[in-house]
Amino acid sequence: MTPSEPRTPEAEPHEGDGWTPIHDTGFIAHVGPVYVRDGAYAFRAADKHANLIGVVHGGMLMSFADRALGETAMRAADGANCVTIQMQMQFVDTARLGDWITLAPEVIKRTGSLVFLRCELRHAARVVGVASGVWKILRRRPEAPPVPGPSGALSEGA
């Protein structure tokens, strides 16, 4: 990284350095760990993430993006629960086992009932995927565990 380049979440391709694991007993517990730091997300591609040809399964990349964008939507909605109503993904390059995959969600717009987001999934400087979608802000807040904040700490917003 040169001094003129901005600091990006993929600049440190390893766990530690402030990356905190997301604690989740649901689906992410099966495919994780997934880490968070300052609003960015990461995971280390492991054998359990492999598809039939030995590279990272597209479903893992989509699950990773959905979780990161979903948490970001909930923070953008002031802690209200949100659900994915539309998501698209383009697989730009191969994500390989051992890669430290990162993304930094971007909120495009929030309305009274929707949050529009996008992100690039990267290994170092290489883009491996691009995701975007729309999350519905739920008016009723069903009982749910707290949403991790951008640093991984739990908040009582949900």
- Average pLDDT estimate for 96-100: 96
Q: Out of 104-108, 126-130, 148-152, which region has the weakest mean confidence (pLDDT)?
A: 148-152
Q: Is the pLDDT of residue 113 over 90?
A: yes
pTM summary value: 0.80
Per-residue model confidence (pLDDT) at position 4: 37
Q: Out of 7-16, 20-29, 73-82, 135-144, which region has the weakest mean confidence (pLDDT)?
A: 7-16
- Average pLDDT estimate for 54-58: 97
Per-residue model confidence (pLDDT) at position 72: 97
Of the chain, the percentage scoring pLDDT greater than 90 comes to 71
Tell which phi-psi region holds residue 81, choosing left (phi > 0), alpha (psi between -120 and 50) or beta.
Answer: beta
Per-residue model confidence (pLDDT) at position 154: 59
Per-residue model confidence (pLDDT) at position 5: 36
Query: Which segments within the chain are labelled E, that is strand?
Result: 20-21, 35-37, 40-44, 82-91, 100-103, 106-110, 114-123, 126-137, 147-148, 154-155
Look over the chain and give the mean of its residue pLDDT values, rounded to a whole number.
86
> If you count them, how many residues does the chain have?
158
Q: Is the pLDDT of residue 9 over 70?
A: no
- Average pLDDT estimate for 33-49: 95
